[in-house]
Structure 1
Amino acid sequence: MVFINAQSSELWDRSVLADTYSDTLVENVASKCKNTMVIIYNAGIRPVDLWVNYPNRGITLRYAFGFGLTYSNFSYTSLVIRRTPDVCTLVVPPDALSPSTVAPEGGLSSLYDVIATVGVTVTNTGKVAAAEVAQLYVGIPNSGLPKALRGFDKQLIQPGKSVSFSFPLRRRDLSTWDTFSQQWVLRSGSYAIMVGKSVLDIQLQGTFSL
């Protein structure tokens, strides 16, 4: 385990966001131990691009998000993707275009507009009542985000019964930060929709375009 931080003070600002000494320390340790874990204690932004893609990351995931034992089995069917009619899908929302716009706490209100809703039916195919956690992942086109968690829900399902899961997708769920325009933007293209039991166990897939 490697613990790193960054020098900071209330009287002066950091001259750089990264720290060469800390980055070198991480790379040196990782070159000797492929099970290296990095813990960052940092007051503010801390770039990790120099070592976050270190070759040691090619390790099979042991436990995916949501991993757990269950007393039953579940099947996923009837994936439905519904676009919200008349909702603005401009690359940048109108309320972000004005130079006088000051973003309120939590961001612009348009970031919370529901662009689409994803629905799926989950059936308990076992013999006992049990809870299932359905997870929604989204692949955003031309963004480097092939599979981002955008929702999850847990419901108790009786044996032989089916329940419906519904996941709203807001503008903020589908947007990425553009460093040039300094805005959250919606990218044009095909968005991948994936619903499953975990990131490693996707049951249903679909797409919709913006």
Structure 2
Amino acid sequence: MAIALSRQTPEVPTLHVGNLRGEYLGVTASGGGGARVGIRAAAGKGRTFYTVNLPGERDQVQAVESANFEPRSTPWYAGAVSAKGRVFSPVQVATGQRQLMVSLSQPVYDSDGGVAGVFGADMYLQRLADVLRTQRISARGAAFVVDEEGMLVASSAGDALFGETGGRTQRRTLADSRNPVIRAGFSELKKL
């Protein structure tokens, strides 16, 4: 089912599930209708990745992660457990994708009411940025979306949402916009 769901829309590329024992299953859609499946056993350190074309098919090992991957400490898992309900992760730059994303996650409870695990879905925000960039707005107006930290998520000016500084990816603020209306709006928002 996760493979079929991951194929439904490119804006939701990855589905995750992690449980209290540290087990993890993640499914990421890949080109050609296949998927990349990552699995971590409870006593494992890293994930083992497989390329699959059909549900249940795990015969092509793609890679074994050497670094420790602890699903219970990821923002999507820990955030949902802490909130005791559905939660969005902070906006972040998707690794290797050159676009912004968020994760939506929801805890799953056992029959005693304790957390059994967390289900999560990553969502790319490029379509939001594309919609805002293509909107007809007057020369004296602008539209933008910022996150709770004041970082740019999308703008009608088509501003770069992040850039490289000293080899590190850095998110941009409204002060970095090339549009004077957006910069002025940011200046006024800071006064609130």
State TM-score, norm by structure 1: 0.22
Higher RCO, 1 or 2 (CA under 8 Å, sep at least 6)? 1
Larger proportion of helix: 2
Bigger Rg, which one: 1
In the superposition, the TM-score normalised over structure 2's length comes to 0.23
